[in-house]
Amino acid sequence: MSKNKKKFFYVNRELSWMDFNFRVLEESTDKRHPMMERVKFLGITASNLDEFFMVRVANIISKMEKKPNKKDASRLKPGKLFKILTEKIHMFSKNQQDCWKKLLVPELEKEKIKFLNWNQLDAKQKAFLENYFKKTILPILTPMAIDPGRPFPFITGRSLNIAIELKSFKGEKIFGIVNVPSAIPRYIEIPCKSERCFVLLEKIMKNQISNLFELYDIKSTCLFRVTRNSDFEINEEAESILTEVQKSIKKRRRGDVVRLEIEKKNSNSRIKKFLTKMFKVEKDDIYKIKGIIDLTVLLKFVHENWDPKIKFIPQIATNAPAAFCDCKNVFEAINEKDHLVVHPFESFDAVINFVQQAANDPDVLAIKQTLYRVSGNSPIITALMRAAENGKQVTAFVELKARFDEENNILWAQKLEKSGCHVVYGIPGLKTHCKVILVVRREQDSIKRYLHFGTGNYNDTTAKFYTDVGFFTCKNEFGIDASALFNSLTGYSWNSEYQKLIVSPFETRNFFEKMIDKEIENTKAGLSSKIIIKVNAIVDKKIINKLYEASNAGVEIKMIVRGICCLVPRVKNMSKNIQVISIVGRLLEHSRIFYFENNGSPLVFMGSTDLMPRNLDRRIEVIFPIEDEELKKRSIEMLSILLHDTVNARIQNKKAEYKRIPNEGKEIIDSQMEFFKIARNLVSEKS
């Protein structure tokens, strides 16, 4: 293997993730999108990057300290990776600000939407903001001087703050800090004649800062923000997982600083030196921002009352008969046949309705459900609590270790317990990531089990913009498997023999290897073979090597990988027969679908797992087969449409670079909009 091939044998996962965030940033530069949607994409890149620093960058810094010489799967030592990564992030940060100032601000101004600085305001506008400061802002501010009697305060991660260099009338020089409060809007709309004008909260505060330090001269001010390490492990041997998770949340708030953002325009060298010392950061950890610090503010801004023409045309999820959203007896509908519901094209109400009817049905005896991430006002949780109050046996497996949703999950778990549900908090050493609902119902002289398996979370909010698939069935083999799974989750035994389901951490890796091996055997025997995989990420080195083996054997492999892809396609003698595309559009691609040609008798599976070591080895995941021929045909059609997308897709080349698919002379296919059309057609066909 040549030097070039070795270099790209396995792409580092963090560098691949940054490539993904660059693809999201590209969406904010795409003039085909409405103005405010481009602004939203920019906000998403900032939110993505925050979490990346809190977990992945923090993890690399930890490895630099504890295992500096250990190479990762991409053959990079932590120090080398950190250097490459930070260079990439600094460039990305500059691109974000360039996108805002050079592309989006001028476009917003064309729509008569302006962000103004203090020196751009007229007398009337200044008076308005001075009054707003005195009445609304000033009462909640806490100026903090820093001197021998008043130590440097604790600065919360991701909060905005203003550092002030002060000089007393006696010539004493000290520093001060003022937090930019999050309790009031970050952007303030001001009176304008024919435009909508806004001023950022920190700009108002900086102009009025002398009101807070009247005994001192203000020498300079500098806006800053820190990001803290939030990657803390749970002590799995502790007596209570709940208690340990609560402890880890407290630790997260006080994690080490892994990024310091300061405004470039006013980065006074003395303030910068002072902040660098206080936060114990190195040069590479400091990001000088020439623009808006914390672009996540744009995610709120886009939800203001704007002209519809500068936003995407709303696409309404259908209540298709196939989704039985309005079905009066969902159990009769499932008895009739299996159902696939494709979100958000078909409404998530189908899932909510399933749980709600189960809660109210006098013949339902028990409901068991896994919960990984749920919304803040979840109708599913409400239905489960009502079911318990109605005397049904309700078991909720709430994964408390769902990162950044721990507090929300603790709250729901405690409410479920109070209503009479049996709540299981997690399994030591494993995260429960599978999406399963089991309803046990009394019917005539027998007991029947009704099931929902999903590729995404039971979250009615994210279901509006995550693409996922739900599968409903009451087939006995699936019911037996689901009962065995829940018994394993709540008890001390582990069932590793399932009739239909493939369950991590014991079976999934072996399953994929066997399925890939079968396609290799078929192609060597002159039989038809093909593999299509749709996942959010592929990281696992063993699975990647197995796919390389299949490619070398002649198996055609097509992959739809939204985010991290450590595999490199189209390399001679390694991955020549592998194609990788990434789809980034107005909806977040989240479903996991697996297709194996099987010599003309295709096998289709869906599930909750990505091809990452954590999903295969350290999580409870479920993959389920789609056996009904009609549903299988629909699943294959979905994959075909995704593979032919010419709007949202980018193709990965042998240098691990992503390029938009040329659509000149090709039919314009936006896969996500196609799925809305298909859902609407299902309604018209069956109405």
CA distance linking residue 604 with residue 188, whole number of Å:
52
33 is known as an active-site residue: no
Helix segments in 211-348, DSSP class H: 241-253, 269-279, 297-301, 330-336
Helices 58-66 and 78-98, interaxial angle, to 10°?
160
CA distance linking residue 687 with residue 682, whole number of Å:
8
Secondary structure E strands in 386-435: 393-398, 422-424, 431-432
CA distance linking residue 293 with residue 91, whole number of Å:
15
| 3-state SS, one letter per residue, for 112-150 | CEEECCHHHCCHHHHHHHHHHHHHHHHHHCCCEEEECCE
Task: Determine how many CB atoms are found less than 10 A away from the CB of residue 79.
Answer: 13
Name beta bridge partners: 168.
216
Distances (CA, A) of 66 to 59, 60, 78, 587, 635: 10, 10, 10, 39, 46
For 189, phi and psi rounded to 5 degrees? -80, 135
For 13, phi and psi rounded to 5 degrees? -65, -35
Parallel/antiparallel/unpaired status of strands 466-473 and 502-503: unpaired
CA 196 to chain CA centroid, nearest Å: 32
Written as six digits, the tokens of 202 are: 């920190």
Q: Which strand ranges, in their side-by-side order, compose the sheet holding 196-200?
A: 113-115, 196-200, 187-190
From the number of C-beta atoms within 10 Å of its C-beta (0-12, 13-18, 19+), residue 544 rates as buried
Out of 339, 433, 452, 590, the active site residue is 433
Which residues are annotated as catalytic?
433
